[in-house]
A and B are shown apart, each in its own frame.
Chain A
Amino acid sequence: MTDRSSLRYRIDRALDSVWIWPVLVGATVIFLAVFIGYPVIYNLVMSFQEVNVGNLRSMNRPFVGLANYVKLLDDPLFWVVARNTATFVVGNVVLQCLGGLGLALYFAQRFPGAGWLRGVILAGWMMPPLVIGAVWKWMLTSDNGVVNFALQSLGLVSSKIYWLSDPAMSLISVMVANIWFGLPFNMILISAGLAGIPQDILEAAALDGAGPVRRFFSITLPLLAPTLYALVALTTIYTMRAFDLIWTMTHGGPVDSSNIFPVWSYRLSFEVFDFGTGAAISSAMLVIVFLVALVFVRSVRAESRV
């Protein structure tokens, strides 16, 4: 007979009751509330305060209203960074999705080793961003970098390109590295979307005389649309993480030519020690990321309910 007062029995009973579910979820919810929710709100509060090295440790700091935000908008750098960020995000999203789509379509064809080669490409996405930044910085070095050497040997350019020190090229350079980094992830997720398209529809269309181009635009692309929407949202969010790459390759320079909002925010906080203004930028960016994420979550949940 079970001893009803034994500790073991009571533990089992507690675990078997319906109250266990909120407890199991609770640990994670509390952790995320403390280490993500609280920082997000704290950040918003700081963006209305003057926070510097002197009052960093104290809890009551002068509230300055919207002064931090006004300061940002008045800074001529704001529009430079805004344009850089828009170029960087749009360029990355468009090229990563198109490139990922191209690769996924190529490796969806039937030939020996297709799946294996697709898997090998994923190695790029697994590498630490710091390593990717370091390797690209080395390859793009103007004097003895392999990229300039290749372009010159092929006769594509006549003189050296100063990839990282020419303000006209630096944003393109960090974009190249970031696209290289994100491409495999896009490819793998689009491949999964492609695998979900029923083959018989495509075969029926082929029998009806639709050529490959027609099949792609009339069947594959519309059926792939939900995956692509989710991917556009995810890639937009992930470009905000390109900080590591930019920090390694250009530090946002030269003269802010590759400076984007997350980099500017970090520099304000950790180089100028103007934490309030740094917080104002990251609060505004967090709102944007949050809105994009809502689109993403909605599209994913709509898809999984089908």
Chain B
Amino acid sequence: MLELEDIQHYLLTRPKASIARYNFMSFRTAESGRKWLEAMMDTVGTVHSVNNGTETDMRWVTIAFTFNGLRKMGVDEVSLATFPEAFRQGMAARAAMFGDTGENHPDHWEDNITSPDLHAVVILFARDAEECERCIQRHQEYIDLSPGVEILSSVHLEPVPPFDYIHEHFGYRDRITYMSIEGMDIEPTPGSLPASKPGEFFLGYPDETGVIPIMPQPEILTKNGSFLGYRKMQEHVGRFRDFLKANGKTEEEQELVAAKMMGRWRKSGAPLVLCPHKDDPAIGYDDQRNNNFDYEKMDPHGYACPLGAHVRRMNVRDNRISQIMNRRLMIRRGGTYGPALPEGAPEDGANRGVAVFGGCADLTRQFEFLVSVWATDPEFHELNEKDPFIGNHDGTFDMVIPNRPIKKKLKTLPAFTTVKGGAYFFLPGLKGLRYLASLGK
């Protein structure tokens, strides 16, 4: 049974909030960090507090630590050595594996995210802009009470227009598939995998192998915790819109190109496998239908959804490629930052994009595999392609659109995104947070 009163809410529920602020924190001393954490404890949200939240309730805070942060808080070296290699190294040190080279290289990352003094992230959620200001003020008050605690940087996330559907800057509808976990009473939608074993996302529970994986120590710190992979990606909207125009003569053709790259229609999220020629919002907005498909039986050659499309890469639905899809899942959170680029407006160079967290129990098996293998490996499916959106494109890769009689090619895809930040965090349970706050006493 999931210990819902101990697990932070972040990966399990979505608060009724449309705005979020990521504050990346640094502590000059262990004591200042602990004092700040102690003061913040009452505001950390669990599933229970989020679902029962009131107008003025600020218990929607999420707190996670980097490896350096755990060390700064005073976790002993013997315990620190039990944490996984990837988490200890940090994402920037593993950049080459992700293909984060050239413009994506960590040297160009923003927000001081590669600073060795990045110790924690606190995520503040708010219902609207006014509440967000209030939360930021409240948080600043906590910081002022704890000298030695500073905000290294912040990322502000809010939805972009049009507001009639949730989407990112390229216009793709988001939050269609979601994880269901045993014990959470959420039925998987038709076509989804069966509900996941909790150990795929939370430490201290059996995972899909049926056993509880070895946990980092001490257990009081790590039980009910998760690992988070953070990626900040700038989205080059003008470049994307130009690409659509260059590859489609009419708006209809352009929408089809957009759909072929993603694997779902842009506005409705309807999967290409179920409606390969025309968007069908009725399917897109019906949870009983929008996930009810596979590729192995329904579309083995990719005539509906290209083999290299983003959603097909991230969730292969094909036993010929992987029989352990249930071990390659992660819970995605995050949102859009930066101003919208109005339709028809020329590229203005503003810093806009998505900042996402991927939650899982095993960063290497889950998060790193999805990004470094299925997204960026040209040998995926022997396509000699990269993910159209998150592959580290340099203008030399094409994308094949299987078609009868002759396949089509989208030639020389530019980089539509640039990686502007990344880090690994550990998201403790409440007992884990209290343990950290109590170290040194």
A and B pair up: no
